[in-house]
Structure 1
Amino acid sequence: MEAAQDVGGATVRSVVELNVGGVFYTTSLSTLTGEGDSNLAGMFGEKSSVERDAKGKYFLDRDGVLFRYVLDFLRNKALVLPEGFRERERLRQEAKFFGLPGLEKAVIEHAESPAIGKRPPGYITVGYRGSFAFGRDGLADVKFRKLSRILVCGRVALCRDVFGETLNESRDPDHGMSDRYTSRFFLKHNFIEQAFDMLQEQGFRLAGSCGSGTAGGSTEQLKPGVDAEENRWNHYNEFVFVRE
């Protein structure tokens, strides 16, 4: 049977399920309260209460992605960040909020490390599904590109390094592995040139590309509300970028 502890009139079991800014974690109460003088320990202490979300998880209104590094530090008493980590200042703010001076010091030391300037090699594939729209109702025959979503495939740490906050990870929640690959990321914007600029700024170059062509000859029955003219020009393109 799990041990339990009273927190502000509520019972917190030794295994704690958290919702941190929409990202879910499972950890132990001893990990969360390991730094006895920290604000985080105080949140789960006898005189504090933590709100629960609709599923009963304890809710912290903080950056859910960065909280993984807070937990890693509490578990291992050391800070290990992925290659090319670009959010050190934000992680430092999280360390301040949770009252973890040891983590804050480790973040500063990591930023001053001479190895920070090195960029790891690797590949990133960017793809998009798009179409062309046309002028109607007597307007000029305007043709312009429409993108529904820009997909990103590659090593997770590398994708985060390049695209930062513009990377949407909602379709691929973290699985706890520090060096894994995914094909389920996409960007929060629909500007393919912006994605190319970000890759170029990080030292990537185009290695290859391919496209599906359009569906101009398709006779398939369309779903209600789908524009037949636009559907004729649906296409998919992929671009492979490399940093050596």
Structure 2
Amino acid sequence: MPNLSEKKVERNVMEIPPDVQTKSRALPMARSMCWHCQSEVTGEYLCGQCVKVQPLSKELDYFACFQIPRRLNIDEQQLERTFYELSRTFHPDFYSTKDDAEQTISLGNSAFLNSAYRTLKDPIQRVEYLIRLEAGAVKDIRSSPPADLFEEILELQEDVESFRELAQQNDSPTYQQLREKLQQERMHLEQREGELESSLREKFTNWDRLLSEEAPSNQHREEKTKVLREMQEILSNRTYVRNIIADLTETIER
């Protein structure tokens, strides 16, 4: 998928398509009045009077940008269609002959759109972003080992250390045995990574069900918080397992 901000201009002059000029979609804009003619702006990308592109609000989240609820199972084809529709409005190529203000706004809007699309089209990035939104603050997904793998990982770390110490004796039987053992452990961890991702998908469904319920009660809010916490833990375990797999791969193939 091309980065809209980095795509080369193929022509010196590119006019905004007529259908884009006349089409408006209600999105939060950075201000209630057009920055150019001071006309009222009620969510249109382009001013209805002077047709100048308007800056998106800094408070706009990625889901709202694509006008979809904060669900985790989304229609990715519809997401892509909306992305292309919005890109026709914000692409910097359309503003190459405009004044500096419009060029700056189009670049900012386009960069935001690219970031939103990259995040929402990837299931892992999507859920990480949702957790940050719902938590009300930026929270990194920390890396922590799954509780049931703790002893296995301790033993694995000892095997890795022994394997590295024998690196100069790579033709010894002990070295080869350790290598085969580490390869088996890597396969096991890759399988576990897949299981974690399957568990995460199940939580996606749970979250979407809660989101669709009306008249949320205290119990409903507690359930949402619980699902968010469970997804964050799975992501944390997944990050840890992926790091171990990467370390094993580097060690074995060195």
Q: TM-score range by the shorter chain?
A: under 0.3
Whose RCO is larger (CA < 8 A, sep 6+)? 2
Relative to total residues, which structure has the larger strand share, 1 or 2?
Answer: 1
TM-score, length basis structure 2: 0.21
Larger radius of gyration: 2
TM-score by length of 1: 0.21
The structure with the greater share of residues assigned to helix is: 2
